[in-house]
Amino acid sequence: MWTWFHKFASPPHAYRLLGRLAPWLGWPALGLILLATWWGLVKAPADYQQGDAFRILYVHAPSAWMSMFIYVVMAVAAAVGLIWRIKLAHAAAAASAPIGASFTFLALATGSIWGKPMWGTWWVWDARLTSELILLFLYLGYMALRSSFDDPQRADRASAVLAIVGVINVPIIHYSVEWWTTLHQPASVTKIDKPSIHIEMLIPLFIMIVGFQLYYGWALSRRLRGEILQRERNATWLTKTA
């Protein structure tokens, strides 16, 4: 098992495997995202309270979910890299950060657009949006720290420490922000983003989440191949492949 894992984690093997895997993730991702979009925008019934405006939920909620999920994946990969000294895990953490940051940005943008018809302003200090904003700061800090090291191996380990400290903090941040908004906002405003979920609404939501997951897998495998090329540019297996 252990030897198998090290074989899998060896750069040439991983590079070829990821190349073969990518299309099996990319096309289903595209299909599911299109299906969920159609289902959400056309087929699902309009919300009795919010009308058609709620349909942005089908992008907002899955991307918010993905932004948290990818941060956890990143921290776990970083910890694996730090503890077992597996370079591929560090590379996966590094490759995940920009994808996670993009989902966070998407969640913020869609949340803000959703806010306009709901609350009449582009920005509301609502718990979920504030948490997403802080999460975006965490992603940006992680990427800034990585880019300020010249030596990729030091960048790997320093950013891994940061990702682990960050992931311990994420629940604390989330909880503190929730606590903060309940104290400051009248309850009537926060009620709106919890519409009575109809089963018809739930199905496209789940399809979208699965689609986003597959998209993440596809984007990660592409970026990871790039990372491997960058890191192994002097290795003999690469010159042979080329």
Partner 1 sequence: MTGRASVGAAAGLVFRRDLTLAWRRWDEVAQPLIFYVVVTTLFPLATTPDLNQLRTISGGVVWVAALLASLLALEALFRSDVEDGTMEQWVMTGQPLGWLLLAKVASHWVLTGLPLVVMSPIVGTALGLPFAAWGTLMLSLLLGTATLSVLGGIGAALTVGVRRGSVLLSLLVLPLAMPLLIFGSRAVGLVMDGESPSGPLQLLAAIFFLSLSLGPVAMSAAIRISVES
Partner 2 sequence: MLPDGARLAAREINAWRGDRHILRDVSFDVRSGEFLKITGPNGVGKTTLLRVVCGLLPAESGEVSWRDRPVQGASDEFHAEMAYLGHLNSLKADLTARENLRFLAGLRQALSDSDVDAALDRVGILSRGDLPARSLSAGQKRRLALARLLLSGAALWILDEPVTNLDTAGIALVEDLIREHVERGGLALAAAHQRLLDDAPMLRRLELQ
Residues near partner 2 (CB under 8 A) are: 150-151, 153, 234
**Smaller CB distance to partner 2: residue 51 or 226?**
226
Q: Which option in partner 2, partner 1, none does residue 234 bind, with CB closer than 5 to 8 A by kind?
A: partner 2
Of residues 113-152, which lie at the interface with partner 1 (CB under 8 A)? 134, 137-138, 140-141, 144-145, 148-149, 151
> Residues in contact with partner 1, total (CB under 8 A)?
29
User: Does residue 70 interact with partner 1 by CB under 8 A?
Assistant: no
DSSP code per residue over 15-81: HHHHHHHHHHHHHHHHHHHHHHHHIIIIISPPBTTTBGGGGGHHHHHHHHHHHHHHHHHHHHHHHHH
3-state helix, strand, coil in the chain (%, to 5): 85, 0, 15
Of residues 75-104, which lie at the interface with partner 1 (CB under 8 A)? 82
User: Does residue 198 interact with partner 1 by CB under 8 A?
Assistant: no
Give the three-state DSSP class for 94: helix
**Smaller CB distance to partner 2: residue 188 or 234?**
234
First-residue to last-residue Cα distance in the chain? 31
Q: Which option in partner 2, partner 1, none does residue 183 bind, with CB closer than 5 to 8 A by kind?
A: partner 1
